[in-house]
Amino acid sequence: MKKFFIPILLSGLLISAIGVWAQDTPTPTPTATASPTVTPVPTPPGLGPIIKGIKENELRQSLEIKEIRGLKICQELNRCPFTTGEKPYIEFLAKAAKVSEVANDYLRLAIFGVNYKVILPEAKLVRQNWANSEIDDFSVGDIINVFGYLDENDNFLVHGKTVRNLSIQKQHAVFKGVVGTITPPDTFVLQTLEKGNQTVVVTNDTKIIKNEPLVCIQVIGADCPSSTSTAATFSDIKTGEAVIVRGIWDQTLSKIQAESILIGSDTRPFFKNAPKIKEQIQSKFGKILEKLENKGVNIETLKAKIEEIQNRISDMLMQMKLKKGGGE
């Protein structure tokens, strides 16, 4: 049966009707009943896999869906090899799937042309090196492994148990904060609560992703996405905006070489709490400035010196790029 939903793009007030995406590839579930819910949320154009040195056609993907202790057939034959009360389930294991949506309590992934929704109440989120992670660290385009089990009534709904994000490497740091001074064409200051000001350096390899919330008017009860993600550019980054930056952190220089930058908003905790976080950051830096003024420090002179240092760092980085390009 065809399903329809109408997403409304809040920031642009763009209203469009979207029809059905038909599943050309059959779902590889051996015994479960076909699901009434389709999750047609492909990764947006221009957002390839966020995993360094690997292109989309080079991903070594696999998908395994199998019955554990039997489910449908044994029940029909009344020959289930388990005692009453022991709940059977269908195990789900996806390797190198690509994230197509990030929300507060679920992810959507795409693999072999099939889209699955992975709910996270029972899931443990980890990085590539198995260190603990959180939903704010994830991005559309990330490559993940998912272990869990299929819902009894929905072949496209996965109850996640372990979600491993292969795109967040051991050397990666994730910073959440507010954009401060922007220095085109490739640097800006990120104001954070935990680590103070950090200089973010954007390169040609940096993926800037803009998330925007959607309100879905369910026409026939389709499962709608809560946000949409599109590729953005450095010019889309605005002062005072809440952002999440992932990259290589130089603690000595307070500098981040950005691999990905998330702007806009969606339903995950950081963006939902963005107004409060902005107030906390402004209050923190306001108190610092007040203490400096009480000690006789000229704030305008201090700001000028900070800007001068930032410009010097930008010049040094530009010179390094030119030298690298020249083969030195």
Q: Is the pLDDT of residue 62 over 80?
A: yes
179 and 282 within one domain = yes
Whether residue 22 has pLDDT greater than 70: no
115 and 184, same structural domain?
no
Provide the 8-state DSSP code for 159: E
Farthest-apart Cα atoms in the chain, separation: 85
On average, the pLDDT of the chain sits at 77
Rounded (10°) CA dihedral 132, 224, 49, 181? -70
In a domain, 289, yes or no: yes
The closest alpha carbon to 141, from 260, 249, 36, belongs to: 260
Instruction: Tell me, yes or no, whether 219 lies in a domain.
Output: no
Residue finishing a domain among 110, 142, 165: 165
Segment 41-59 mean pLDDT? 67
Same domain (yes/no): 253, 296:
yes
Please indicate whether residue 142 or residue 54 has the higher confidence score (pLDDT): 142
Contact call for residues 230 and 44 (beta carbons, < 8 A)? yes
- List the single range of 35-49, 57-71, 193-207, 253-267 with lowest mean pLDDT: 35-49
Q: Give the mean pLDDT of 109-117.
A: 94
Whether 5 has a pLDDT exceeding 80, the answer reads no
Verify that 12 and 153 share a domain, yes or no.
yes
Q: What is the pTM of this model?
A: 0.70
Whether the predicted pLDDT of 35 surpasses 80: no
Least confident of 52-56, 95-99, 159-163, 219-223: 219-223
> Which residue do the tokens 């064409």 mark?
185
Mean pLDDT of 210-237: 83
Examine residue 53 and state whether it is found in any structural domain, yes or no: yes
Asked whether residue 125 falls in the same domain as residue 235, the answer is no
Q: Find how far residue 116's CA is from the centre of its chain.
A: 16
Question: Which residues on adjacent β-strands are paired with residue 210?
Answer: 230, 263
Is 218 part of any domain?
A: no
| Angle (deg, nearest 10), helices 299-325 and 274-294 | 120
Query: Residue 279 pLDDT > 50, yes or no?
Result: yes
Number of structural domains in the chain: 2
Shared-domain flag, residues 237 and 151: no
Structure tokens at 176: 């959440």
Report the distance separating Cα 97 and Cα 94, nearest Å: 6
Please state the rounded mean pLDDT for residues 49-76.
Answer: 76
Query: What's the domain range around 36?
Result: 5-165
Question: 109 by DSSP, 3-state: which?
Answer: strand
Asked if residue 103 and residue 159 are part of one domain, the reply reads: yes
Whether 12 and 135 map to the same domain: the answer is yes
Assess whether 301 and 285 both reside in one domain: yes
Distance, CA of 275 to CA of 271 (rounded, Å): 8
* 256, 188 Cβ separation under 8 angstroms: no
